[in-house]
Amino acid sequence: MQQKITRRDFSERLAFGSFWAAVGVSFVGMLKLLKPAVMPEATTRVKLGHPDELPAGTERYFPRQNLFVYSEEDSIYAISAICPHLGCIVQRLPESRFECPCHGSKFNATGEVFAGPSPSGLSWLEIRRAPNGVLYADTAITVPRGTKWERA
Amino acid sequence: MPSALHRFLDNLKRVPKTFLGSVRRHGKATSDRGRSQAVFSNLFLHIHSVKTHKNSLKPGYTLGFGLLTTVCLVILTVTGILLMVYYKPTPELAYKSIKDIHFVVPTGRMMRNLHRWAAHGMVVLVFLHMARVFYTASYRRPREFNWFAGIALLALTLALSFTGYLLPWDQLAYWATTIGVNIASSPRELTDALGITQLFDPGGAIRHLLLGANTPGAEALIRFHLLHVMVLPILLFALVGVHFWRIRKDGGLSRPESADPPDGGGFFPRGGNKTYGLMAIVRGRSPAVGRAPENTVNSWPHLFIAQMAIFMAATVILLALSLAIDAPLKEPANPAIPENPAKAPWYFLGLQELVSYSGFMGGVGIPLISMIGLALIPYLDRERGGVGVWFSGPEGRRVALRSAVFSTALVVGLLAFAINFGWLREWYPDIPQLVITFVNPGTVIAACFAAWSLWIMRRTDSTRMGAIALFTCFLIGYIILTYVGTVHRGPNWEFYWSQASWPIH
């Protein structure tokens, strides 16, 4: 049998319901405040220098921006030093591979993970050449593994 | 009738007495009646009932863990407010102000050390208190909700510890926070593996919520500070209030049937329909409902003296620890070079051990499952017997012992295996990420614990025994994982027998 709701009960529910709905919506609205409109960070662009300053065979580490730059005969590429597992900074070992000090993830020379908990390999970063000829990498823009900047 | 001037002078002379009388709502507490009145009508004392059951005062029953936790909380609040006087939550000044507090501020080092030790103490005691309540089956009806509130308080305590960890802004703080926040945002590991991060990214949302940025910096420091000194304490105190209030409303501390003999032969008649509890609307077994008040004593002085003694003893121990061992402070935070090893506070090192196999399951999945499992215990074990008795009797003691042996063997064995032979990716480098994410040694351990508990439940035909098995496994597993993470993990999270054998770098 269907239960009847009196008019009084109905308006009471309406009153309580609208009160809690208002509280809920206010809180959801306030949550918006917590996400910054602009991330308070330094630029993600890293000046690598002129290609001539990076002759073939150079390995350069940028400690502030946490990235490695490798120069080859006809190309240059950048690998992020931030471990995709939990954000520690990986170290380059002499036997040309990377290791993370925090939880022991291991990566080969191209940043592919071969041991440890990391869910993916090290990110490769985009390299662009500014009109004045200087190379820039962007730590916020990743590219597929193997994407290199070609010396024309 | 004396003149108004006389009356005025008379009143003036009597101000000390009349003022005090207006503050106190009762007479002097010189007799039992006066003391009862004092407890009853004083805002601060009436947390306690006028009468306390003798069983609640037995040191071997409660072991004082709940009270000791409260003592730590009081000390943390006082020292925390004092530390806030000098602490400055900005990356430039945080480290320096902690150094100032440690080396320059009068009594600053003592207050900081006390804050540190009381925080460690509170975490340990919250766990011990939980174990006491569990093993005496004190979560039973009508106390289910208070157990639930206790689990929430455990989570808040851990959250407070963790947010406090960042504030010194030293290397340890910075990297532990980086790891912690990355764990919190590790749902991204899952969404990435499923390829839906573009559409649905809870990990990223949590990250931006906690850090106010992509990496820990000034915004993160101010947010953690705000959480640590304002948001979480407000929630904690509100919930502590509920927790205490429910103790009273649920009929005081739990106690065994035997604590109230069926016919004590006391002054009050047994049986019949008379319920004293109706005077105030109290559910269940308040000291007076169906139970004669013969087994109770006056809270003032019996309970209060015990509490003050514990308070003083705990303070002395914390003072001694603070005098002997300083809170650590490493080099200032350096976002370019991680600490090696970068270790979280010790009570999270068990999780860090699991995280070193896969982030999402080790850092989010397993803890969440454990917390939910703990919170649901009173709703899944609804038997009535064995309340107020350690392990609910000899059978429970046997089950607890066997479960302890089982879980020790399982966890030690599995960790030894993983440390010696590696884990999935070492054997099958091309294994899909989803498998690595979910098949964590922690998952295997949790599944074995659940199976063991179900088997015990079937064998003993008792949900209580199943609960004892599961809880014991959880406790032992937590302790062993924490021990391995703390003692046996060194640089690059590799296994070392002791810190003495770490490589020099």
Q: Tell me: the pLDDT tens digits for A105-135?
A: 889 888 888 888 888 889 999 999 989 889 9
One domain for residues B119 and B227: yes
pTM of the predicted protein model: 0.89
Range of the structural domain that residue B251 is part of: 55-256+300-336
Dihedral pair phi/psi, residue B346, rounded to 5°: -55, -35
One domain for residues B242 and B220: yes
Residue by residue, pLDDT tens for chain B (505 residues) are 789 999 999 999 999 999 988 888 777 788 888 888 888 888 888 888 888 888 888 888 888 899 999 999 999 999 999 999 999 999 999 999 999 999 999 999 999 999 999 999 999 999 999 999 999 998 988 889 999 999 999 999 999 999 998 899 999 889 888 888 888 888 888 888 888 878 888 888 888 899 988 888 899 999 999 999 999 999 999 999 999 999 888 878 888 877 776 555 455 555 444 555 444 555 555 444 445 566 788 888 888 999 999 999 999 999 999 999 998 888 888 888 887 787 888 888 888 888 888 888 888 899 999 999 999 999 998 888 888 888 988 999 999 999 999 999 999 999 999 888 888 777 887 788 888 888 888 999 999 999 999 999 999 999 999 999 999 999 999 999 999 988 898 888 888 888 777 876 5
A100 lies within 8 A of chain B by CB? yes
Asked if the structure places residue B32 within a domain, the reply is no
A114 vs B425: CB contact, 8 Å cut-off?
A: yes
The CA radius of gyration of chain A, in Å to the nearest whole number, is 26
Q: At which of B336, B362, B388 does a domain end?
A: B336
One domain for residues B465 and B320: no
User: Whole-angstrom Cα distance, residue B223 to residue B230?
Assistant: 10
Asked if the structure places residue B262 within a domain, the reply is no
One domain for residues B96 and B233: yes
One domain for residues B320 and B413: no
One domain for residues B383 and B323: no
Domain of B95, CATH number, reads: 1.20.810.10
Q: At which of B336, B359, B393 does a domain end?
A: B336
Question: Residue A85: its chain B contacts at CB < 8 A?
Answer: 182, 359
In Å, what is the CA distance from B298 to each residue of B57, B59, B145, B301? 11, 17, 28, 6
User: Whole-angstrom Cα distance, residue A17 to residue B322?
Assistant: 52
One domain for residues B315 and B352: no
User: Whole-angstrom Cα distance, residue A88 to residue B336?
Assistant: 9
Interface of B with A in 354-393 (CB under 8 A): 355-359, 362
- Considering CB atoms only, which of B179, B217, B436 is closest to A86? B179
Q: Where are the beta strands (DSSP E) in B32-185?
A: 51-53
One domain for residues B216 and B321: yes
B336 lies within 8 A of chain A by CB? yes
One domain for residues B358 and B324: no
B213 lies within 8 A of chain A by CB? yes
**Nearest chain A alpha carbon to B426:** A115
Q: At which of B316, B336, B356 does a domain end?
A: B336
**Nearest chain B alpha carbon to A62:** B336
ipTM of the prediction: 0.86
One domain for residues B356 and B323: no
One domain for residues B232 and B88: yes
| Alpha-carbon gap: A113 to the closest alpha carbon of chain B (Å) | 8
Helical segments of B250-335, H only: 304-324
CATH superfamily of A45-150: Rieske [2Fe-2S] iron-sulphur domain (2.102.10.10)
- Considering CB atoms only, which of B213, B339, B429 is closest to A114? B429
- Considering CB atoms only, which of A63, A87, A103 is closest to B178? A87
Asked if the structure places residue B427 within a domain, the reply is yes
- Considering CB atoms only, which of B175, B181, B425 is closest to A116? B425
Domain total in chain B: 2
B419 lies within 8 A of chain A by CB? no
**Nearest chain B alpha carbon to A112:** B429
Three-state DSSP state, B147: helix
One domain for residues B475 and B447: yes
